[in-house]
Structure 1
């Protein structure tokens, strides 16, 4: 990070834009997966290429939501009870540590209260959906392809290095 009174980070003269901007540079490689594009840039770095001139651009992005499981009242309440139990156990342990002669009573009270509150909040949250979202999912932002761009001053040497990498690699 740089300020008006400091040098640029990592000794580079180039600053990352503060606002969203379109990428600049010439394409030096195009890959089907982010892993392949990352491996290409890593290869450039291994060859002492000035990677601060390089940008990986995901082209045609899409949001992919992968459904993991179906939600039921049993799963929701069980999950709420478990998370409430852990929190209640934590609070009960803290209370028993700082209350002289308290014994196990604060731990038991914390555990029971945690389960009760976990059940209540899980039930309220699930009931609020009114059955419109009876599943658990994970979202990912992916692209159709990943282009590696480079500033014009080093684009030709970057293309040559990536071409040599492609010729030397039989599998990714």
Structure 2
């Protein structure tokens, strides 16, 4: 008997885990970049390989923070004024659309108020850092290498297909 709370063996095997779990399977390839691992899995898919058995695992994850610019009071206040201006313009436009006969006054008031609040909040936020973070950066999670794992039932076939891909790549 099947109920809403029971699972068939087939349904449980086909679904991805709901909670974070370690990956399972045998390694069939290892690559320096995610792009290479993705290309390998794409090759498997093009070869009609059952890719639902495949997992790409980033090994030795690293958080990489790339610094893109130096922060100055001018940049902080300029950015605050611009974002405040956009928000104020949006609010002003909404007010002018829903206020009959208002004209441009709500737009101008919204723009000026937005710039003022944007400047104040940007200045307060930057002053609160007390010079400890005078730069802009972007963080990215990367791995030292990317392993392609496959369930044991298809691992040997996957290794053979990826070996053929590697041989084609080295022949160029």
Report if TM-score (shorter chain) is over 0.5: yes
**1:138/1:129 CA distance change after superposition, 3 Å:** same
The alpha carbon displacement at 1:6 in A equals: 9.1
The alpha carbon displacement at 1:60 in A equals: 1.1
Alignment correspondent of 2:138: 138
**1:65/1:104 CA distance change after superposition, 3 Å:** same
Secondary structure class of the residue paired with 2:65: strand
User: 1:47-126 counterparts in 2 under 5 A?
Assistant: 47-126=47-126
* Counterpart Cα distance in 2 of 1:24 and 1:134: 43
**1:5/1:41 CA distance change after superposition, 3 Å:** same
Q: What do residues 23-79 of structure 1 show as CA deviations (whole Å, max 9, x unaligned)?
A: 111110010100000010011111111111101011111111000000011100000
Q: What root-mean-square deviation, in Å, do the aligned CA atoms of Structure 1 and Structure 2 show?
A: 2.0
Alignment correspondent of 2:14: 14
Gaps of 5+ in 2: none
* Counterpart Cα distance in 1 of 2:136 and 2:152: 46
Gaps of 5+ in 1: none
* Counterpart Cα distance in 1 of 2:161 and 2:68: 41
**1:162/1:24 CA distance change after superposition, 3 Å:** same
* Counterpart Cα distance in 1 of 2:41 and 2:25: 15
**1:38/1:115 CA distance change after superposition, 3 Å:** same
- 1:26 aligned to 2:34? no
TM-score (norm 2): 0.91
The alpha carbon displacement at 1:104 in A equals: 0.6
Alignment correspondent of 2:39: 39
Secondary structure class of the residue paired with 1:142: strand
